[in-house]
Amino acid sequence: MDDKRAAWIALNLVLAEKRKLATMIMTRFADPVDVFRAAPSDFSDWRIGPDTARRLLAPEAMERGLREMKDAENKGFQVVTLEDEAYPQTLREIFDPPLVLYCLGKVEALKAPALAVVGARKPSAYGRAMAESLSREAARRGLLVVSGLACGIDTQSHWGALAAGRTLAVLGSGLDVLYPAMNRPLARKIAEQGAVVSEFPLGSKPLGFHFPLRNRIISGLSLAVIVVEATLRSGSLITARLALEQNRDVMAVPGNATSDLSAGTNWLIQCGAKLVTRWEDVAAELPDYVRTRLARPDADSRPLTPDLSPDEAVVLEALKADAPMSVDDLVEATDYSVSELLSILLGLELKGAAAQVPGKKYLRRI
């Protein structure tokens, strides 16, 4: 079994960035071990670059796979191969599934019914609020919220889901190269309740072309993809296109007609994407067995709000989800002094109930 697992990992070391070739090879070879037993003539009719051919045929290829497997174990990662029981069936069904997934966290999360929520890296307050709300409501009802750990909508989606359930982050880098660095604490929190995954070998940098590859996993894992905010040149539209190619539903949150951040989502709606503004809109498009869970949250679901002190509850009530408020605004809306508010806001941030945004302003998170 170790040899078989090492062969999958060794193959991925060579082909993680070469998806078409990986698909061709797995069509010809039933067993990954057979690839490394092949002769040069077995690849003579393929357009394989000399470097790729050399790496596939190198005597030490399997040894590299074994070393990578041990390194992953030493770092606390699990490696799920394409033929493992833990590998998600939805992802196995796409045209070019990843050969392996490096996983940090709870592997069983990979097989949960999932919903992708993606969007702009520099969203508006409206976009952040919508991403959090939709993600929180979906997670509260048992769905796994999938996104890409990027700044902006991805981050808000993960936080929203964590407030009520589980989420999964798909990286465009190696699992030991968490990117962006500012979201490393978030990644650790995600791993506690869900999982962080990557198909890229250990040490892989967050190269630009990795992210479109990453996007096919986000959509492939999911029953549907929701785009919250996106420009016409956004990578989120790539995810939407991939979702359609994978026969997934595409949904979009409408936005201001004069805003560039809404141009992509409004265009998707014009092209036939389902317009969604609340979780009921999302539920209506999902399979029956999932829709039932959305309509009736489990009785033992985690509470929507954390335990708050009376002061924290007052300030949280004053905060808005779609309009950032300064400390001065909160002084006017409450009876607290600036120093008292700063202490209360810190407590709300630590509990995930509020977030500070640029301009030293605050948004309600739950």
- Distance CA(81)–CA(100), nearest Å, equals 4
| pLDDT tens, position by position, 100-154 | 999 999 999 999 999 999 999 999 999 999 999 999 999 998 899 999 999 999 9
- The answer to whether 219 touches 227, Cβ cutoff 8 Å, is no
pLDDT in tens, 231-242: 999 999 999 999
> Rounded to an integer, what distance in angstroms lies between the CA atom of residue 160 and that of residue 158?
5
pLDDT digits over 264-282, tens only? 999 999 999 999 999 889 9
Kindly report whether the peptide bond that precedes residue 180 is cis, defined as omega within 30 degrees of 0: yes
pLDDT above 90 as % of the chain: 67
Judged against a pLDDT cut of 80, whether residue 300 lies above it is answered with no
Average pLDDT over residues 27-42: 81
Q: Is the pLDDT at 299 greater than 50, yes or no? A: no
Tens digit of each residue's pLDDT (9 = 90 or more) over 158-201: 999 999 999 999 999 999 999 999 999 999 999 999 999 999 99
> Cα–Cα distances in Å, from 165 out to 39, 181, 220, 304, 363?
50, 24, 21, 9, 21
Which candidate, 363, 291, 278, 298, places its Cα nearest to that of 164? Answer: 298
Strand order in the sheet with 361-364: 325-326, 361-364, 354-357
* Bridge pairing between strands 78-81 and 100-105: antiparallel
